[in-house]
Structure 1
Amino acid sequence: EYQAMTMDMIARCALGQNISCIKDRSNEYYSRARANSSPTSMFFPIFKHLRRFSIFGKEDHVLIQNLSAIILERTKQRAAGNIRPLPDLIDLILAENEKRVENGEKPLHHDIIVSNAWALFFAGYETTSTAIAFASYLLAKHPEVQQTLYEEMTSAFEDSETIDYERAVKLPYLFSPRPFACRDVVTFTGRRCIKETVIAGKIRVPVGVSIVAPVHSVMWNEANYDRPSEFLPERYPSLT
């Protein structure tokens, strides 16, 4: 459910596409994205070189073609003066590209625009749906936390009111930082050293070496957090 919902939101905000995966699970974006989401290359790096020959590579190719066609069509529309009143991500990228041309700068290549759309599309799809699913699990396991959140929401919005972002983002309990967001993207903290570095005078990191921050170890360390294994939203400064 969350994957379908997230796909709908990203498609609307990033691509300007109303695809309604919530209602139609046979939608091409939804079905191909689910087939595409595999952590295999994360644990077996050699797979990234073989991916294009696999079923995942075939799914990638079709979706990239779709994104490319959308961007090409949008470029033609903008050239003809058809500017959307509510711009999405592609519109913003294309508008910036037009400014680059006006300023005599080299415009972004079509493939780069497609790559950015692709990255935002799938990075947001998988991580957001996973984070929301985990948040729902935690609320179900901790009804007292769920009740506190419910009371904050109902006190901020009447039953007939539309929940708008401007007010929702100011709710301290709803928008306090949560460790599960970091756990969800724990494998995205890897970086490759581009300049030899010495950490705390003890650890030498040569150029070319890749490192990953041990997010779980930091967050579950009692030296950093009191009762780290417990779900305690009140521990965060914004709630005190």
Structure 2
Amino acid sequence: MRKKLNLLLGLVFIISMAALTGCGGSGKAGEKNPYEGKWVAVSAQMMGISVSVDETFGGDFEFEVKNGGKVSFSVGDTTGNGKWSVEDDQFTLSIEGEKMVGTIGKDIISFDDMLEMGVKVIFAKDGTDAMDPSLYLTEEESAVIGKWASESVEELLGDGPQTSMEGVDNINDALRLDFKNDRNVTVIYKGEEIGTFPWSVALGYCAIESDNPSLSVAINDDGTLKVDYSNDEDYYTFHCVKSDGK
């Protein structure tokens, strides 16, 4: 009887181990691979200068890691499939015949030469704190973030900087710029919101992607901004300082 009982217990043990092995071999049934899920490009840099992901790749750049080493991706309007693998802290991504190796961090994967374009791209795990764009701002970009107001204005053929301007009671309201950490800036001209536009910083200049009005921004050595503003009727140069938003 004891021999039969021991045999029965042994059989139960073998069946249990086989069931656990079938669930992944770790003994943790249904455990999801930590890399599975959607990864979104949150930062792109070329020659150490931040560039727009949308402008560089023609839209959003995302890939979704799936079970079994499979991956789906979308670059702008282009979609496709590929493969992925992980070894140590290296993440290998193969899409459209291109093999790229990225470095794994906390909820991020960083590729130094994405698609052999000379662009460093950082992908963040969707839904994590790593999605915060402010984490990837350069020192120069961080200095621009915030609300700015004009302190003086100069006409193209005027007599020099003025602290008053027709159409506004307070020179601060002549031009206001609100640079946000998602790399968009809201422009307010003579008290009217003109729009919100993408911006980027490089070599002491801030480019605002707007044709009308056109805005050319130079970052002065003292940390203030020189803004050339022009539309169909006006052409002014504003000297802007950080404001408290009031």
The TM-score by the shorter chain falls in which range? under 0.3
> Which has the higher Rg, Structure 1 or Structure 2?
2
Q: Which has the higher contact order (CA 8 A, sep 6+)?
A: 1
TM score, norm. by length of structure 1: 0.26
Decide which structure has greater helix share: 1
TM score, norm. by length of structure 2: 0.26
